[in-house]
Amino acid sequence: MKLEMKDQPGQLVAALQPISAVGGNIIAVIHQRETSTTAETLDVQIVLELPEGRLENLLELLREQGVSVVRIGEERLLYECTLIVIGHLMHTDLSDTVDRIDRTGSAEVTELSLAMPAINSPSSARIIIRSTTRAEMKKAIRILRDVAGQKNLLIIEPLEDA
């Protein structure tokens, strides 16, 4: 999620404190002095990660601090993870496999490339999962591992976390 505000003196400090107070995680602070703006204000963009349902709470705290939020941009699916799946994907209902992740609501399969194999041999697919938080990604991968166990699929995970 992105917060934009005018940086009047002291506003940045006032804005950062409530974020950690509601359990948020600051990913980037982008300071941008625009030539068009008046001398003493500048735009600040804060990219942050918030636990589900804490946004109202944060905005209230920010208002109390006198921070004016110009714009809130929500980018829900911040984390991305590429995996490769090998097995009898078609025979084991590939769309059900994808569904089980999408059903979580906080992670989804956003890309799927399937290599068509020779008849009767196992097929391989690359899937990209996106999620709102790191914890949700872990959960999605756990689901995928469970499904793989049931359907006898081999999951190749990346070396590094999302």
Contact residues for another protein, defined by CB under 8 A: 82-84, 86-87, 113, 115, 117, 121-126, 154, 156-159
Q: At 18, which helix (H) or strand (E)?
A: helix 11-21
Q: Which is nearer to another protein, 47 or 84 (CB)?
A: 84
- Judged by CB, which is closer to another protein: 64, or 111? 111
Between 39 and 119, whose beta carbon lies closer to another protein?
Answer: 119
Strand 79-87 to 2-6 pairing = unpaired
How far from 134 is each of 28, 88, 102, 151, CA to CA, in Å?
Answer: 16, 29, 16, 26
What is the C-alpha separation between 161 and 109, in angstroms, rounded? 16
- Give min distance, CB of 121 to another protein, in A: 8
Q: How many Cβ atoms are within 10 Å of 58's Cβ, its own excluded? A: 22
Q: In angstroms, give the least distance from the CB of 158 to another protein.
A: 4
CB of 66 or CB of 158, closer to another protein: 158
Q: How far is the CB of 141 from another protein (least distance, A)?
A: 12
Select 39 or 118, whichever has its Cβ closest to another protein: 118
- What SS3 class is residue 136? helix
Rounded Cα distance between 162 and 149, Å, is 22
CB 83 to another protein: min, Å: 7
Burial of 155 (C-beta count, 10 Å sphere; 0-12/13-18/19+)? middle
State the minimum distance, in angstroms, from the CB of residue 123 to another protein. 7
